[in-house]
Structure 1
């Protein structure tokens, strides 16, 4: 498929250590803790069969295996698949594109898309990936799909004191079209509004849709306090606030990540 897949593979192979990311910054720690909490809340009970699409090196897959789930991981990046296979426990993994899953219809109890959507700048491709997740999940099963909030970049720059003319200009671009400028870091990507994410899930065919904010509205405070004496106290309070406001419509988009859930009809 003619797109930016090669750029994404090169970024995760040569420039970024995804296997280290979730243990680094306060935002990433909140992301991991809250995502696991939401997965435990919304996935069917073990030993349900889970497909982890875009599962990277396997951080969430391994956590789910430890809970008793049967997990298969697919990822676009060969290095991620190698890491998932080589870790402990080893994860059943293969290289695949989220838009064309090498899996049979109705073969999983639930499917995760915890990365592919923000690596697909075109709406048609995002809807295609969601439709593929629906196809491989049994009727009545659930799909959980992550997106980056439209406002994550500017809030991150503000929290970490990286505001300048260029980042303010980037915020204006993001507000209008949602496309990340790869020159500022990361890859070419798409940052969602909540209503867009719901619309794409609805277009793919899901019902019983809802969106949670993952990190909550205080992740920026945890980032700002990261290197000070109150770092852990602020982090703990941010985590509590994430629980309080996880489904509050007015604050969902203040999270760095959104987690949509839908049911296969």
Structure 2
């Protein structure tokens, strides 16, 4: 394990509690709802064999198991794997690296990469992880790749009244450099432009690539209203807009997270 990967594992083991992330904030709740909706639209009918790479403690895997699918989870963080195994329903989970999956060729009907790609700074590593996801997927099966949008951080800081001179400088830097400044709070990460994510999927051999904006264009409004009297109506409106504009090219990049939905070549 290289030094950067070790630091990422340490971040999730010792500093950040991933298990409750998708319930803590309006942005994260939008992420959970829309990701599940998109997955349920595209996955094969249950029971399908699904590989959840970088699945963390198993938030999405458990939902898919409850839908009737057979899910195997791979994550590089040992405590995430332990939580996935220990929860209800228990998940078949193993420790592994997205760049070298411990799975046979074409052994799954669909593969999800909902986290690893945005923790890989180098394009070659990201393409390698996507190519691995394609390798273990049956021909014609869906491969789903999540990324963090290039400008999610500064928009989040502005929506939550944390924008200052340092964040302004970060916003300027991100125009030309997608590498996250780990000193601001989040660990090592890479933030994608929409075209970049599409190109990496194509380079990895995937076809029919469609990029969705997960949280939609109004997620900053939901964050800004989170403690006010209009929190509920604003969240509901943000969710409706996320559904309407999910794959609208001119708005996709506004979302905090991008979701590439593609197909393994037959």
Q: TM-score, normalised by structure 1?
A: 0.99
| Stretches of structure 2 lacking an aligned partner (at least 5 in a row) | none
Partner Cα separation in structure 1 for residue 2 and residue 15 of structure 2: 22
Moved over 2 A (4+): none
**Alpha carbons 1:216, 1:238 under 8 Å: kept:** yes
Partner Cα separation in structure 2 for residue 222 and residue 2 of structure 1: 38
Partner Cα separation in structure 2 for residue 117 and residue 197 of structure 1: 10
**Pair 1:74-2:74 in alignment:** yes
Q: Equivalent residue of 2:121, what SS?
A: coil
Q: Which residue of 1 aligns with 2:158?
A: 158
**Pair 1:91-2:80 in alignment:** no
Q: Which residue of 2 aligns with 1:127?
A: 127
**Alpha carbons 1:111, 1:144 under 8 Å: kept:** yes
Q: Per-residue displacement from partner, 1:148-207 (whole Å, max 9, x unpaired)?
A: 000101110110111111001111121111011011111111000000000000000001
Q: Equivalent residue of 1:139, what SS?
A: coil
Partner Cα separation in structure 2 for residue 209 and residue 31 of structure 1: 20
Partner Cα separation in structure 2 for residue 134 and residue 27 of structure 1: 29
Partner Cα separation in structure 2 for residue 2 and residue 25 of structure 1: 32
Q: Which residue of 2 aligns with 1:30?
A: 30
Q: Which residue of 2 aligns with 1:107?
A: 107
Q: Which moved more, 1:181-190 or 1:74-83?
A: 181-190
**Pair 1:256-2:231 in alignment:** no
**Pair 1:181-2:178 in alignment:** no
Q: TM-score, normalised by structure 2?
A: 0.99
Partner Cα separation in structure 1 for residue 58 and residue 2 of structure 2: 27
Q: Which residue of 1 aligns with 2:16?
A: 16
Partner Cα separation in structure 2 for residue 51 and residue 183 of structure 1: 32
- Structure 1 residue 2: deviation in Å? 2.6
Q: Per-residue displacement from partner, 1:59-114 (whole Å, max 9, x unpaired)?
A: 00000000000000000000000000000000000000000000000000000000
- Structure 1 residue 3: deviation in Å? 4.4
**Pair 1:168-2:163 in alignment:** no
Partner Cα separation in structure 2 for residue 209 and residue 219 of structure 1: 24
Count of matched residue pairs: 265
- Structure 1 residue 11: deviation in Å? 0.6
Q: Equivalent residue of 2:109, what SS?
A: strand
Q: Equivalent residue of 1:240, what SS?
A: helix
Partner Cα separation in structure 2 for residue 173 and residue 45 of structure 1: 44
**Alpha carbons 1:173, 1:179 under 8 Å: kept:** no
**Pair 1:50-2:83 in alignment:** no
Partner Cα separation in structure 1 for residue 163 and residue 58 of structure 2: 34
Q: Which residue of 1 aligns with 2:218?
A: 218
Q: Equivalent residue of 1:241, what SS?
A: helix
Q: Equivalent residue of 1:176, what SS?
A: coil
**Alpha carbons 1:120, 1:190 under 8 Å: kept:** yes
RMSD: 0.7
**Alpha carbons 1:55, 1:75 under 8 Å: kept:** yes
**Pair 1:141-2:141 in alignment:** yes
